[in-house]
Structure 1
Amino acid sequence: MSQNGQPSVPGRSAVLPVVTGDTAMVFGAGILPAGHWFGTHEHPQHQIARAARGVIVVEIGDGHWVLPPTRALWIPGNTRHRTGSSEGATMSGIFVAPDRCPVSFTAPTMLRVTRLLHELFDHLTAPGTAPAPRRRAEAVVFDLLDPVEVIPIGARLPTDARARQVAEALERDPADERTLGQFATDVAAGPRTLARLFVAETGMSFGQWRTQIRLAASLPPLAAGVPIARIAGRVGYSTPSAYIAAFRRSVGVSPGRYFAR
């Protein structure tokens, strides 16, 4: 565990020096191996989560936030969340003291990371930056925090053991095309029972839930620049146009515009 509350990956991460004095921000960094997830946790500081390299994912409740280096996520203090990376990434965690913070995002908020903001983050993590220049740089960072309006994608897992088994199989392989009737024998529950459980425990029909899981699985490769033709088959769509249509119906924009807005 780092000094600012962020879990670290034993033997695979490095924590940057913690800033002391009257600063508003402290910085931590770590290498996330492919497939690694920090456990669900919270901390009193606000956090700006970002990937310096690769793509990270932050899950908060039902929300599934995918962050390439051009995006960051404001996580309000005391918000339970978990963070990971499917392909591996270098994560930068910027922790903000609530009593020294002039911005007031009260909910998780996607932020645009411009080249200038990226350079300021590097400046603030450089060793030997004096207190007065640090305070001025922090003030500019706060001025540059620019929200990006996006719809988070994802769905919570059911808690019933039978429905949960179905859900976890689809999380492992979003392209799995089995119906509830085909899953029923494996989990010892009738298809109608499973259908009722998904509605009661996720707030969605099974079909809607499956769509959200497929779209969520598509976001990390989409953020990494993988061609849509490859992504579509990987997450269970027979053609790129079917994937694009499902994405647009659920999110309101095409996949190509999701990270460009």
Structure 2
Amino acid sequence: MTQDNSIDFARFEMFRGQSFGRHAHDEHQLAWASSGVVMVGIEDRCWVLPPHLALWIPGGVRHTTAALRETVLQGVYLDPAGCPFTWTAPTVLAVSPLARHLIGYLAGEPSAAARAHAEAVLVEVLRPTDGAVFELPLPTDARAREVAGLLLDEPADPRGLDEFAHAIGSSARTLLRLFLAQTGMTFNQWRVHARLQAALVHLAEGEPVGRVAERVGYATPSAFVAAFRRVTGHTPAAYFAGSRSGAGVEG
């Protein structure tokens, strides 16, 4: 991490599956993967972040971070005492090509004057995204959480609610009630979001849409693209526009 600057930086090269357990920083943090895909968990929510998105984590907020593929995680740290941002809750930010360049530049050793100018520009270009974000709320009840875990482990699992209920010794009605009450989504809506969140990892690796659709449980590429568009308002290609890791994404 650099020292004696308004904004400090740290770089972590992470292998697939590597994680940092629940922890907190005194500083505000911007968690961003310059390559790869990172998942950040805070309380009962998690975000999957390809390189065109970053998560603002206020100082003191406990969180976990995991690499979903080989990833370069960039930590950007700001002292709360002089921080120009006023976000008090976890906030997803768009990382534009200019922001990407500025973070890389500032992580080097520019002169004091150049650093001050670059930091001022970075502050100006970091803004919450106005696009759809894959934030997945997790149920807190042990029964619903078990079903959620099964689907996170295997998004293409074709079982319906009745079959999941039987597998964990509950009832479909109970699970339906728990998912709606604790995630704000019906079971089917939650499953769609879980599948699309899993798809981001493969799309960020440049896998063809048809292969990704099959991996996460869609019978056809068109059904997958339609679901992706319903949730995000974009096709997979448009969602990854401006991200180098999205190069080659079709659909």
TM-score bracket for the superposition, by shorter chain length: 0.7 to 0.9
* CA RMSD across the alignment: 2.3
Q: Give unpaired runs (5+ residues) of structure 1.
A: 1-15
Residue 63 of structure 1 and its aligned partner are, at CA, apart by 5.2
Q: Are 1:154 and 1:213, in contact at CA under 8 Å, matched by a contact in 2?
A: no
Which shifted more, 184-193 or 76-85?
Answer: 76-85
Q: Encode CA deviations 1:108-127: one digit per residue, 9 max, x unaligned.
A: 1322231x443433332225
1:148-163 maps to which residues of 2 (within 5 A)?
148-163=129-144
Map of 1:83 onto structure 2: 65
CA contact (8 A) 2:156 2:218 kept: yes
Partner letter of residue 201 of structure 2?
P
Q: 1:102 to 1:172 in 2, by over 3 A?
A: same
- Is 1:98 aligned to 2:89, yes or no? no
**Partner of residue 57, structure 1:** 39
> What residue ranges of structure 2 are gaps of 5+ in the alignment?
243-251
**How far off its partner does 1:236 sit?**
0.7
Q: Distance in 2 between matches of 1:238 and 1:220?
A: 19
- Check whether the contact 1:44–1:77 (CA below 8 A) recurs between aligned residues: yes
Query: How many percent identity over aligned positions?
Result: 42
Tell me the residue number matched to 1:226.
Answer: 207
1:190–1:123 distance in 2 versus 1, CA, 3 Å:
closer
* Structure with the larger RCO, 1 or 2 (CA within 8 Å, 6+ apart): 2
- For residue 122 of structure 2, give the secondary structure of its aligned residue in structure 1: helix
- Does residue 175 of structure 2 align to residue 194 of structure 1? yes
For residues 101 and 140 of structure 2, the distance between their equivalents in structure 1, rounded to whole angstroms, comes to 44
Shift of 1:235: 0.6
* Conservation of the 8 A alpha-carbon contact between 2:37 and 2:48: no
Scaled by the length of structure 1, the TM-score of the pair is 0.81
- Structure 1 runs (4+) deviating above 4 angstroms are none
Q: Which runs of structure 2 are paired with 1:1-261 in the superposition (5 Å)?
A: 16=1, 18-20=2-4, 23-60=5-42, 62=45, 64-68=47-51, 70-107=52-89, 108-114=91-97, 116-127=98-109, 129-260=110-241
Contact 2:92 2:133 in 1 (8 A): no
Instruction: Return the alpha-carbon distance in structure 2 between the equivalents of residues 103 and 163 of structure 1.
Output: 37
Tell me the TM-score normalised to structure 2 length. 0.84
Q: Deviations over 1:33-85 (max 9, x none)?
A: 201232233323222222233222334453524122x4433333344433222
CA deviation map 1:155-177 (0-9, x unaligned): 32222222222111111000001
> Secondary structure in 2 aligned to 1:29?
strand
Question: How far apart in 2 are the matches of 1:167 and 1:73?
Answer: 23
Residue by residue over 1:115-156, the C-alpha shift from the partner in whole angstroms, topping out at 9 and shown as x without a partner, is x443433332225x4434332332232233354322222432
Task: Give the count of matched residue pairs.
Answer: 240
